[in-house]
Each structure stands twice: as structure tokens, then as C-alpha cells.
Chain A
Amino acid sequence: MITYEYGTTLLHQLDPRSKLLVQFGFAFAAVTTTEPAALVTLTLLAIVALTLARLSVFRVLWTYRFVLLLLGLAPLFASLKFGSPWIALEQAPPSILAGYQVVLVLFISAAYVKTTPVRETRAAIQRHVPGKAGQLLGVGVGLVFRFFPVLLRDVRRARLALRARGGDVLSTRERVRRLSLLTIEQAFSRGERLALALRARCFSWNPTLPQLAFTAPDYLFVVIGLVLVGWGVLQV
């Protein structure tokens, strides 16, 4: 699992907005290109990003192993043909290439995830998505992040309790039914308490947000992001 880890690298010090721009620009450029030369450049960029984030390639690949499994299966399905001769091997290479583009974006986004606390992304959302939608989305991101470990523990406890009471002999469907019901009931009673707590704390449409500020390296990253976006546009 890759999540935010405290650090003092260059990427940690950047403003989340410049990192987001680079990330989206990179993803855009990566999915629009099929040129080998362009892919080599993007690969180098991805490796630089991983190095700056002090993240090993193998750790990223292991984290996303099930995504890789699906990507690995894709060329097999792509070479299926309906009707004689049933196999069209020439359709496999484009599929492998497309899978490689996905892996590159995984590298960049892993570097973002490791170096950016969720509260900074939340501040960027709340500041720049206009109106009440922006407020709700921003606060919502913060709250979901806060509640995730709590509900995960609830689900695990319910699972253990179910198992301790002989749940293993039940059919999968019945286990899914019981586990969902148990955790939904618990979660909704937490939701009611959350609503009360939000009201008690004067949940408002105009709160004071955490600070965000650009520093010198941010401008460089904004330029990189814009160049990547422009490159992606040229390739469309």
C-alpha cells in the first residue's frame, strides 16, 4: 500500500496544485501518445518523479499488482477473434503498449500520493471548486479520510464476529448479506452522530481553510505541467 509518508523531499515541499497540474498533464500526454520516442521521454520523467519521491519501481508495481494482472490479461482477450482462425496476434502489441501507458501514469500518481497529504488536496479542492459544491466536496474529502480507518475497523470486527459464530459454514451470498447489513446499520448510526457533531460545531458554508502558497520550484512544475498538457493537445 502506498499512502502519504512524511518527508522533506522537493516533492513534499511543493504546493499540491502544481503537482496536480503535472500529474494531469502527464496522464493526458501519456494516454494520447503512441510514439516510441515520446514513451521513452515519459518513462524517464516517471523515473525522475519516483526518484524524487524516494519510491522504488518494484514497490509501485507490487502495490498495483491486480491492476497489472488485468493489464496482462488484456492482450490475451484483445487477440481473440470471433470466427476462424479465432486468434489475431497482431492485436496484442497495441494492447501491451496501452497497458504500458497506464503503468507510467501509475508511477506518477504513486509519487503524488506518497508526497501529498490528503488535507492539502482537500484544501485545493475546497479553494478552487466554486460555490457550495466546492465546500461540500472539500469537507467531504476530509471527513471520508478521517472516517475510513474507523469504518474499516467496524467491517473487520463484524467479519471476525461473523466467523466466530460459525459464519464460515454459511453460503457466500448469506455471508455478504449479513456482513453488509451489520456494517450498514453501524455506519448509519455513526452518520447520525456525525450530523449532530457537525451541527454542534457550526458547520458553515464559509470556513477558514488551511494555508496554501506557491514557492519558487512550484512555478517550474507549473511550466512542466503546462508543457505536458500542450504536448497532449498536439497529439490529439
Chain B
Amino acid sequence: MAGQYESVKLVGDNIVEYFAMAVIVATLTGAFAQVAFPYPFSPVPVTLQTVGVYLGGLLLGPVWGGLALLLYALVGTAGAPVFANFGAGLGVITGPTGGYIVSFPIAAAVIGGLVHRRVKPRPLDTVSIPLQVIGMLVGLTVIYAIGSVWLAASTDQSLVSGLIEGGVVFVPGDLLKAVAVISLVTGGHLARISFVE
């Protein structure tokens, strides 16, 4: 293999910082995907996975948040058991729930774009709380839009029944998670963690 012997090009300090946080958000999404909590109406376990998407968009902004969730999808496809129930592999992406995973980077980028409106994330205490909440709800809508179309396509059903299956299975639990994260936002907890100066 051709080794590289010219001088080392160091990655800038700022980029290292954002990149490390993107790695952490991607990993946290994987760990959260394994935390199932009981939800009476759902035939599949409801996990904390989408919390990672909110974190990516809110704390890292559109580019680094999007990269974080893209990393999550890539690592799972490459074989690390980071998808729900320790799933991994391309088959999960082409499967009925693959659309949700594919939608995560887009949703994180949308949330980041709405909340920060630039590449470099702002400190969260300078962004109004209603805007953060709206960003999360728009992100959730993106996840369901892409996820349901994918579910309908991968199981050859009509879009409407795909929306119903996805909705019946996932929406109640996801609303609950959104409410929990919103309370972290309104309590100022995320602003405290927000690492940008």
C-alpha cells in the first residue's frame, strides 16, 4: 500500500471539537436505540433513538448534526449493532424501518438549520425556546414523512396505510420523547451543556 510520507496536515482545533461531539452524538444515538421503555399500544419496543436526532440538530447545528446522524447510519450499515435491538447491516436500511434511519441525518440538518441558521452552531441560550421547540417538531415531521413513505414502499402498501402503520406503531412514543426533550430545552439544561462559547 502506498504510505504517505509528506508532512502531516493537522485538522484544525475547531473542527476537532465539533467532530468529536458529532462522534459522541452518533454513539449516544446508538446507545439510546437500545433503551426500550414499555409503551402499551406499540407492538415494537419504543426506544430513545430519536433523542439523538434532536441533540444533533440542537447542539451541533445543521452540518455537524447532519454528519453525526450520517455517521450513525454508516456505522450501523457497516455492522456495528447500533440500530434498535442491536440490529446492524444494510438489510435494516432496505427494511421497513430503514426510512426512519435515512431520515435522521436530514431531520438533524433541518432542526439545526432552523435553530442556528448558519453552519457554526450558536450557544442555545441565545436562541428563543419556541424556535427550538418548533425546530424539533419540524424534525419529527421530516422523520415521519420519509419513514412512512419508505415503510409503504418497502412493504408495497398505499401511502395512507403506510402512514397509519408507522403512526400507530411509533407516533405515541415519539411524542412522549419530544415532550421530554422539550422539557430539557425549556429547563435550560441543554443550553448549559451546549459547548460553543
| CB within 8 Å for A106 and B89 given contacts A152-B31, A198-B20, A208-B3 | yes
Choose from A118, A174, A187, A211 the contact partner of B75 (Cβ within 8 Å).
A118
Choose from A82, A107, A137, A191 the contact partner of B91 (Cβ within 8 Å).
A107
Q: Are B86 and A205 in contact (CB under 8 A)?
A: no
Indicate whether A58 reaches chain B with its CB closer than 8 angstroms: no
Q: Are B44 and A188 in contact (CB under 8 A)?
A: no
Assign chain B's interface to a size class. Answer: 35 or more
Indicate whether A203 reaches chain B with its CB closer than 8 angstroms: yes
Contacts of B81-128 to chain A: CB distance below 8 A: 81-82, 84-92, 94-97
Helix, strand, loop or mixed for chain A's interface?
helix
Q: Are A27 and B94 in contact (CB under 8 A)?
A: yes
Chain A residues, Cβ within 8 Å of B181: 177, 180
Choose from A64, A98, A109 the contact partner of B154 (Cβ within 8 Å).
A98
Indicate whether A39 reaches chain B with its CB closer than 8 angstroms: no
Q: Are B193 and A188 in contact (CB under 8 A)?
A: yes
Q: Are A71 and B96 in contact (CB under 8 A)?
A: yes
Choose from B21, B43, B92, B162 the contact partner of A109 (Cβ within 8 Å).
B92
Closest CB-CB distance, A108 to chain B, in whole Å?
7
Closest CB-CB distance, A66 to chain B, in whole Å?
5
Chain B residues, Cβ within 8 Å of A185: 193
Q: Are B184 and A206 in contact (CB under 8 A)?
A: no
With CB as the reference atom, state the residue of chain B lying closest to A129. Answer: B74
Chain A residues, Cβ within 8 Å of B136: none
Q: Are B44 and A69 in contact (CB under 8 A)?
A: yes
Q: Are A105 and B95 in contact (CB under 8 A)?
A: yes
Closest CB-CB distance, B152 to chain A, in whole Å?
9
Indicate whether A52 reaches chain B with its CB closer than 8 angstroms: no
With CB as the reference atom, state the residue of chain A lying closest to B89. Answer: A109
Chain B residues, Cβ within 8 Å of A67: 87, 92, 95-97
| CB within 8 Å for A204 and B11 given contacts A144-B27, A184-B28, A192-B20 | yes
How far is it, in angstroms, between the C-alpha of A107 and the C-alpha of B6 when the chains are bound?
A: 44
Chain A residues, Cβ within 8 Å of B151: 70, 74
| CB within 8 Å for A24 and B90 given contacts A78-B158, A145-B75, A194-B20 | yes
With CB as the reference atom, state the residue of chain B lying closest to A125. Answer: B74
Q: Are A187 and B28 in contact (CB under 8 A)?
A: yes
Given A102-B155, A143-B23, A206-B9, 20 further pairs, Cβ under 8 A: A70-B95, A70-B155, A80-B161, A91-B157, A94-B156, A106-B89, A136-B67, A137-B71, A144-B30, A150-B27, A151-B27, A155-B34, A172-B176, A180-B181, A183-B31, A191-B24, A194-B24, A195-B19, A199-B13, A205-B11
The interface of chain A, by Cβ under 8 A from chain B, is: 1-4, 23-24, 27, 30-31, 63-67, 69-71, 73-75, 77-78, 80, 82, 91, 94-95, 97-99, 102, 105-110, 112-113, 116-118, 121-122, 125, 136-137, 139-141, 143-145, 147-148, 150-152, 154-155, 159, 172-177, 179-181, 183-185, 187-188, 190-192, 194-195, 198-199, 202-209, 211-213
The interface of chain B, by Cβ under 8 A from chain A, is: 1, 3-4, 6, 8-11, 13, 16-17, 19-28, 30-32, 34-35, 37-39, 43-45, 48, 51, 55, 67, 70-72, 74-75, 78-82, 84-92, 94-97, 151, 154-158, 160-162, 164-165, 169, 176-177, 179-181, 183-184, 189-190, 193, 195
28 contacts between A and B (CB under 8 A): A70-B155, A75-B155, A77-B162, A95-B155, A95-B157, A102-B95, A102-B155, A106-B89, A106-B91, A107-B91, A116-B79, A121-B78, A140-B19, A141-B75, A145-B78, A145-B80, A147-B23, A148-B31, A151-B30, A172-B176, A179-B48, A180-B32, A180-B184, A183-B32, A184-B28, A188-B193, A199-B16, A202-B10
